[in-house]
Structure formats: structure tokens, C-alpha cells
Amino acid sequence: MRARLLSTSAIKLLKAPKLDVKNITSQLPSYLQSIKSRGLVAAQELIDQLQALPEHQTHLRAIDGQISKIQTRRNAIEREIKLDKSRMPALRDELVDLKSQFQSASQDHKKIQQQVQDTCLSLPNLIHASVPATEPEIVEWIHPRETYVAESKRDHHTIMVRKKMVDFQSASTVTGNSWYYLINEGAELELALVSYATNKAKEHGFLLCIPPSIAKNEIIDACGFRPRDMNNEQQIYHLQDTDLGLTATAEISLAGLGIQKELDLSKGPKKMCGISRSYRAEAGARGKDTRGLYRVHEFTKVELFCWSVPEESDRILEELRGLQVEIINELGLSAKVLNMPANDLGAPAYKKYDIEAWMPGRGSFGEVTSSSNCTDYQSRRMNTKFKNISTGKSEYVHTLNGTAMAIPRIILALVENFHDANTDQIAIPKALQPYMGGRKFI
């Protein structure tokens, strides 16, 4: 990626984000609504802190005025002493008092400023006007059916174990529950899906990247992946005695490519496609979906990530959604595209689409892709900017992310939808056959 470094020094820690407090206070009702609508843990505490922002700002301005008066008087005394050193004994006590006042005022200013910074850092993003309140909105169907019937005989767990495509038992012995071995055609299917998804991404202008699967905790946090999610369940595996964690998605390490950089977006957005192993500590914690591949601790994922100028991010989110629809459509899966409600949005997301595919063995639709516009939530924390050609000023980019392929769930959907009980074969979608050696069935 061509970019100009904003700092040539080695990046050890992220700099404190430059949050637009004035803009936040001017949109106080919108931020309050964002907190309430998302159903955040400790929402009332954050609301109280947010509502105190205008008072804090007023207090800071008053302290600034106080400090200015102190400095003005100190400068006047220093000029007077410079002109007549004999005045020093008479003015010494006042100078000492002014120094004490300055230190006290500066400490108060620093304390309040930190409270303001902490409050603003804890705020979720604003919410796009089109986002529904509490229930997903179906915006598009892919290969819709007249009826959807649960079929327990299509359970992917049973089929794949019998066909020796997966080994859950050995993984449970070696590692624990919600881990698995993909073997034989199961492993081949993963490789085929990765190749198919990355080729689709390249066709849409994405550059390929294999990023690290470990990142500094501050980078993980800056992307909006808190140690615990909205349900107070652990999200991230942290490495003991280090400041590192396992990435839940390549989004985290891809976002890190923009740290302390000014990107050249004059010719359009920067688009990266990352292939990585992803780790989710909360898998199975909700007491459901613990059987099979739907909710696992480790999996391969092909992730899409974009850096955009602000005025184009809404359009780019629609492009991400379009690519995801194209992939699910070509795989022949029946699915629905959802505009996700505010109470399902993570802190960074301004707007999010999910695609849920029908999984007859599970007897329900299940999420297979997600795409989000995070506006400047991540870029402010990463200090990722672009130069606005019309103004010549550096501004914060908008970041977007989307799933190209979450491997286990797509394998699950393919097996449960395309297994033929009479032949015990699984039909391979035409789009995937070139990546499976031309085979039509496994």
C-alpha cells in the first residue's frame, strides 16, 4: 500500500486519539440515542458521563481563563523585576503564590480533560438513519423458497462425521469443546472456498494479504473489540504475561496497516482482502450452537477491509454487500440480507448488513457474512488520515469491513443444503467445482 508515514519513529503505543469533543457535544441527543438503542452494558453510567460533558467543557474554559490570568500576572511581575531587581523581595511571595495557583489549576485541568477523553473514548459510534431499532429488516432475498422446513436428517455434524470430513472427537481430546479437525474432503473444501473467495475479491479490486493473527491489545481495543461483549462474555483470547491477543478477525490486523499513516485516496478507496485464522473466546458461551461447526473457537476467514473518504463510505458499504450477495448467490444458497438493528451493532458500527443462509439441519437461518461501515471510529484511534484534495487538509478516513468467507459456516450450509440422502453425496456448487479438481460431488 502506498502511503506517507506521519511519523518516522517506531510505533510502540497508539497515540491518544484526537476526538472531536465539540462535535460530540453538539450532537449530544444523537449520541445519547446511540447508547440507549444499542443496549450497552452500564449504559446509564455512560449516559451520565456524556451528559456531564458540556459542564466539563465549561469548567475547562473557566480554568483556561484562570491560567491565562495567572500567566499574565506572572509575566508582568517578571518584567517588573527585570527592570528593577530591588523589587524581587517584595514580589517573591506573590510569585510563589501564583506558581502554586498555576500548578493547582493545571492539575484540575488535566483531571477534567482526562475525564472528557475517557468519556469520549467509551462512546459508541453514531447510528445511520436507516438502521432499524430492534428487529432486522430484510432488504433482499437470495434464492428464496416458498417454505423452509427443518430436516434433522440433514444435520451437518452427522453427515460430515460419517463421511470422514471432520473429526470433533479427536479435537475435543486434544484441545477441548468447540474445536475440530477438517480432514479429507472437508479440508479440500476449505481450501477451495478460500481460493474462490480470494479470486472474487481480486476481481473486485481487492489486494491480497496474509496478516498476523496476533495483535497488541491496544490495537484490538482500538478496532472496537472490547475484552467483553455487550452480554459481558469474553471475546478475545489474551496471551498471558504479554500485551498481545489473538485476533477475532483479520479486520483487526488489516486496520493496523493504517496506523500513523496518511493514505493516498485520490484515485479511490484502498481495498485489502485478508486470509487468516480467527479466534473467538466466546464460542458456545451462549449455551446454544455448541454442536458442530456453527460456533467454534478457531476458523479460517477471508475478510474484506476498505479505507474510504467520508463521502463515499455509504456507497462502499453497498458495494461490499453486493460482493457478498454475489458470492452467496453463486454458491446456490438460499439466504436473506438483513439491515441489522441498533441493538445488534457493535460499538464501531454506524450501519451493518448481515446475510443469513438457510441451514435445514439446524432448522434455522444462520449468519454467514457481515459488513459494517465504521466511519471514523477506528481511524481516529489508529490516526489514519487522508489528504482532502479540495481543502489540502489531513482528515480522518472512514473504515469498512466485510466477510468474504467464514469457512466453517459456509461448509455447514453447503453440506446441509446439498447432501443427497439417497446417494450420500454432497453436490458441489458449479462456481466451486474448478477449485475442487472439477468434481461435482464429494
282 is annotated as contributing to ligand binding: yes
55 is annotated as contributing to ligand binding: no
List pLDDT tens digits, range 51-107.
Answer: 999 999 999 999 999 999 999 999 999 888 888 888 888 888 898 999 999 999 999
Contact 426, 158 (CB under 8 A): no
Report the pLDDT value the prediction gives residue 283, as an integer from 0 to 100: 61
217 is annotated as contributing to ligand binding: no
Report the pLDDT value the prediction gives residue 344, as an integer from 0 to 100: 95
Range list of H helices, 284-406: 313-330, 377-382
Contact 80, 21 (CB under 8 A): no
Report the pLDDT value the prediction gives residue 90, as an integer from 0 to 100: 87
370 is annotated as contributing to ligand binding: yes
- Say how many C-beta atoms besides its own lie within 10 A of residue 247's C-beta: 29
- Say how many C-beta atoms besides its own lie within 10 A of residue 73's C-beta: 14
Task: Using pLDDT thresholds of 50, 70 and 90, give the confidence band for residue 10.
Answer: very low
Contact 247, 253 (CB under 8 A): yes
Whole-model pTM: value is 0.90
Report the pLDDT value the prediction gives residue 87, as an integer from 0 to 100: 85
Report the pLDDT value the prediction gives residue 8, as an integer from 0 to 100: 34
Strands 351-359 and 364-373: antiparallel
List pLDDT tens digits, range 360-395.
Answer: 999 999 999 999 999 999 999 999 999 998 899 999
State yes or no: pLDDT of 202 exceeds 70: yes
State yes or no: pLDDT of 429 exceeds 70: yes
List pLDDT tens digits, range 244-293.
Answer: 999 999 999 999 999 999 999 999 999 999 999 999 987 654 555 678 99
280 is annotated as contributing to ligand binding: yes
List pLDDT tens digits, range 150-194.
Answer: 999 999 999 999 999 999 999 999 999 999 999 999 999 999 999
Report the pLDDT value the prediction gives residue 288, as an integer from 0 to 100: 57
Contact 266, 366 (CB under 8 A): no
List pLDDT tens digits, range 43-53.
Answer: 999 999 999 99
298 is annotated as contributing to ligand binding: yes
249 is annotated as contributing to ligand binding: yes
Question: What is the percent of the chain with per-residue pLDDT over 90, rounded to a whole number?
Answer: 84
Strands 398-406 and 298-308: antiparallel
296 is annotated as contributing to ligand binding: yes
305 is annotated as contributing to ligand binding: no
State yes or no: pLDDT of 358 exceeds 60: yes
290 is annotated as contributing to ligand binding: no
